[in-house]
Amino acid sequence: MFYQFPEKFWWGSAASGPQTEGRVDGDGKGDSIWDMWYKKEPTMFFNQVGPEHTSEVYKHYKSDVALMKKIGHNSFRTSIQWSRLIPDGVGEVNQKAVDFYNDYFDSLIAQGIEPFVNLYHFDMPNELQKIGGWENRQVVDAYVTFAKTCFELFGAKIRKWFTHNEPIVPVEAGYLYQFHYPMLIDMKKAVQVAYHEALSNALAVQAFKAGGYQGEIGIILNLTPSYPRDSNDAEDVLAAHRADLFFNRSFLDVTVLGHYPQDLIDLIKESYCMPETEPDDAAIFANNTIDLLGINYYQPRRIKKKESPITNPEIPMPDHYFDIYEMPGRKMNPYRGWEIYEKGIYDLLINVRDNYGNISCYISENGMGVENEERFIQEDGSIQDDYRIEFVKDHLKYVHQAIQEGVNVKGYHMWTCMDNWSWCNAYKNRYGFISVDLDNDYKRTIKASGYWFADTAMRNGFED
């Protein structure tokens, strides 16, 4: 069967500034928390590979854009690094960054690739982390100034803006489960961070509309559909609902509907973790919802009722309300340790259609990180990543079905264009359509999946 996608479907990929650009002497970039953390604790990073080079896109963006064209992109998302544009987080703008982003975006546009621009991808300027980062409401103001600066500088050429990528990640990684800086376990602070990120989204949307800029503004959320172990067991169902509240609806409701779910507020109250707020905030949320929702989908979250003992009842944690369920026979990506469940993408999209006003949306990330891909290298130097082609096809079929059923889904972006630096995992798992050889001057080579994607984009669909 041929899976035909609608006209003008967005085919492309996503990346971020901190994971791709790298730094060069004299580029004027300030430190983000990643630069600072690597200097302090390099052993936290796989093979001690840090953010200083990443994939050297800062040097190679012109030829990289030509490769994107070659693999069929009509759109591409990256992020503006706050610490590159405004090295101290507030204050002076770095002209070299302005020139770089202008030229990068112009190069994309010249190739017929629409740049989608995100403003925050886990990369707090270190100067602002010193005053607490998202814990501090002053940082919300600083972010809004940064966002306005970006609209002003690049608004004439950018038509798709995103305020945040996966805002739940700084919350869970930095303040609950210790996999990103500042590595705390503190649910009260976690809630405050989440609240301030959501507020910064609403205020940036407000500034965008007030400025009369063209195009749309949205947010990118990593949604993890929450499935109960046994859908006939009321306690499993309640536990799954609560996990959904904490990890999906904490951002989905407030950004799309303009308010928090009452049962999430009740859980936060019960945990004594209510954030500090100001009286006008509710109206700011209600009046500044997004135009466009980016959905990152990697894995489902399978849940059962709380069966394991709570080891530290005095330290509130979301998982006091549920346990993770390891479903027997689940299909896994063994490298990343994430379940592969293709139908999850469809369930998410149907939920957005039915419960979120069928808001305009797209798949902003989906992908498969694999270790030691050199195993699959061919004589011509390209990687034969058939598993990635299968992965994309199997997800796209469900996206196709969702479109048939009326979901307003406008595109599919793969994570990622070329292998890039995955935070503490550095270059362990490779995700790209294009490989990057770190030992050979960062040489780029298109993988089999890149050629497959080019063909799919050209035909606006694929045969299977």
Residues interacting with ligand BGP, by CB under 6 A?
Answer: 16, 19, 165-166, 222, 296, 336, 365, 369, 415, 422-423, 425, 429
3-class state of residue 304 by DSSP: strand
Our CB check for ligand BGP shows the closer of 337 and 357 to be 337
Our CB check for ligand BGP shows the closer of 72 and 369 to be 369
Our CB check for ligand BGP shows the closer of 118 and 200 to be 118
Strand partners for 191: none
For residue 292, give both structure tokens.
């466009």
For residue 305, give both structure tokens.
């009722």
Our CB check for ligand BGP shows the closer of 168 and 290 to be 168
Separation between Cα atoms, residue 82 and residue 140, nearest integer Å: 13
Separation between Cα atoms, residue 451 and residue 446, nearest integer Å: 7
| Shortest distance in whole angstroms from residue 24 CB to ligand BGP | 22
Of 456, 362, 457, give the one whose Cα is nearest residue 410.
Answer: 362
| Shortest distance in whole angstroms from residue 209 CB to ligand BGP | 26
| Shortest distance in whole angstroms from residue 141 CB to ligand BGP | 25
- Is 80 within 8 Å of 117 (Cβ atoms)? yes
Q: How far apart are the first and last CA of the chain?
A: 5
| Shortest distance in whole angstroms from residue 180 CB to ligand BGP | 10
| Shortest distance in whole angstroms from residue 13 CB to ligand BGP | 11
In the bound state, the residue with its beta carbon closest to ligand BGP is 422
Amino acid letter for position 129: Q
Planar angle of CA 119, 132, 82, nearest 5 degrees: 20
- Is 413 within 8 Å of 13 (Cβ atoms)? yes
Residue 267 CB neighbours (<10 A):
18
Of 25, 19, 52, 54, give the one whose Cα is nearest residue 36.
Answer: 52
| Shortest distance in whole angstroms from residue 201 CB to ligand BGP | 16
Of 361, 402, 422, 367, give the one whose Cα is nearest residue 162.
Answer: 361
Q: Tell me whether strands 409-415 and 10-14 are parallel, antiparallel or unpaired.
A: parallel
Our CB check for ligand BGP shows the closer of 16 and 192 to be 16
| Shortest distance in whole angstroms from residue 16 CB to ligand BGP | 5
- Is 332 within 8 Å of 339 (Cβ atoms)? yes
Phi-psi region of 322 (alpha: psi -120 to 50; beta: other; left: phi over 0): beta
Residue 342 annotated as catalytic: no
Our CB check for ligand BGP shows the closer of 19 and 94 to be 19
* CB proximity list for 99: less than 8 A, separation 6 or greater: none
Our CB check for ligand BGP shows the closer of 125 and 170 to be 170
Q: Find the catalytic residue in 21, 127, 365, 373.
A: 365
Catalytically annotated residues: 365
